[in-house]
Amino acid sequence: MQKRYPYYLANKPMQPNADLEVRDKFSGRIATRVALPDDKAIEKAIAAAVKAEKPMREFKPYQRQAVLNHCVKRMTERSDELAKALCVEAGKPIHDAKGEVTRLIDTFRIAAELAPQIGGEVINLEISERAKGYRGFTKRMPLGAVSLITPFNFPLNLVAHKVAPAIAAGCPFVLKPSEKTPVGALIIGEVLAETDLPKGAFSVLPVTGDKAAPFVEDERLKLLSFTGGQIGWDLKAKAGRKKVVLELGGNAACIVDEDQTDRLDFVVDRLIFGAFYQSGQSCIGVQRILVHESIYDQLKRKFVAKTRKLKAGDPKKKDTFLGPMITEDAAERLHGWINEAKEHGAKVLCGGKRDGSMLDATVLENVPHDAKVSCEEAFGPVALLEPFSDFDKAIDRVNDSDYGLQAGVFTNDLTRTMRAWDRLEQGGVVIGDIPSFRVDNMPYGGIKRSGLGREGIKYAMEDMSELRLMVIRDA
């Protein structure tokens, strides 16, 4: 990593200071320093984005596509650098970091493919005698300057899911990446600065949370796209008239039906990945596992045995599966929830110990449904096992949650598959796999406390554009 990184203001690198320390999340040592924008820089960035609305609207789709293709090329060339930076600043095991870089590139590639496809439709308006001779036409126009706020857990791909559709849709943007993991976003800013984007089209400002109010409240911004915690609802209340898109996490559940005996090893492997990859710091990480009683003991035995074998430690080592949580405070919070569940009757099948920001991969059973580790978003390496005897009651158990992002169902029964899709109160239902499955062109988002709207390039582009209607009457 470089010793210092600038922030980007109206397409230009700025290095007025090096006040933001970025730490290696495993060692705790300072890895690099980043320029920290002040209030004046934030104001200049928003003003520049507003001024860039017209130039970006006139920036043709093929030009936007060229920018996005440049990003694909340069990010591919810098993939090792991006992965190493991600490994250090987020504590993400290097294997997973490389996987996220692949997704980053995929996301920009999808946006490049869709950029020239923004179109409209012809509408037949002759639905009655009074509309005879009328025709309707629609097209999509860029919404204008948008505000993008991203979290620490996927600091490359979640940035990509906001930045790439903004460019494809023709919207200038101000981006606030997490101050815990700003380097990846700043490298993306460096790549964007190499392109022909109009002046003011982008700013990347890693401000701290107490300085972020203008990103939310400024009335000149036409949309707020926020990924993070439940504070998102408070931001929505302060956002005024702008459009708001929220992705706010969940406590994802996975049902394992009785017909999965023949592929139980596969199911367990997928559950292990979903529960513990990235130390469980995923909005769709597997938190609650409901297993049919006829195979519960068998699955529990296999699941616990494989959990105990997970390699924890330095994320820079190739064989490390479980790295640190983002901060010691985060690990301490979840460790407290585990102990609270134990005090109320939960049984620890493995794990349950903490050393600084390293928290063991932990498996619990007999967890009270009102325990925080069950009913809230754990956002860490813990999984809860629970048997069920009736499939419909298992669906009810999944739905007994304030969250609704994604759920997984392992079943071979078509009737139960359709019933799960009909009845599960989730933004997405994944059949034959874990709720953690996501590819970057699919619609993604939740209901209940999990948020509003959908990500996925096509859907984000629609959010970042407005529909214009033209009606023509025949002469």
- Give me the active site residues, please: 247
Which of 411, 409, 401 is CA-nearest to residue 448? 401
CA distances (Å), origin 252, targets 159, 175, 287, 352, 406: 22, 28, 5, 20, 6
Write out the DSSP string of 142-161: E---EEEE--SSSTTHHHHH
Pairing of strands 253-256, 288-292: parallel
Both structure tokens of 383:
């999984």
Task: Tell me the three state secondary structure of residue 334.
Answer: helix
Task: Tell me the three state secondary structure of residue 30.
Answer: strand
**CB neighbour list of residue 74: distance below 8 Å, 6 or more residues apart:** 191, 194
Terminal CA-to-CA distance of the chain, rounded, Å?
Answer: 66
Specify the residue for token string 């239902």: 429
Both structure tokens of 360:
């063991």
Largest Cα–Cα distance of the chain, in whole Å?
Answer: 79
Write out the DSSP string of 59-124: S-HHHHHHHHHHHHHHHHHTHHHHHHHHHHHH---HHHHHHHHHHHHHHHHHHHHHGGG---EEEE
Which of 103, 105, 152, 83 is CA-nearest to residue 318? 83
Task: Tell me the three state secondary structure of residue 458.
Answer: helix
| Side-chain half-sphere CA neighbours of 185 within 13 A | 33
SS percent in the chain: helix, strand, coil, step 5: 40, 25, 35
Distance (Å, whole) CA 197 – CA 183: 21
Which of 98, 103, 105, 82 is CA-nearest to residue 2? 82
Distance (Å, whole) CA 324 – CA 411: 33
Order the strands of the 451-452 sheet from edge to edge. 12-14, 7-9, 202-204, 173-176, 146-149, 223-227, 243-247, 451-452
- Is residue 347 within 8 A of residue 300, CB to CB? The reply is no
Which of 98, 146, 80, 112 is CA-nearest to residue 464? 146
| DSSP 8-state class, residue 254 | E
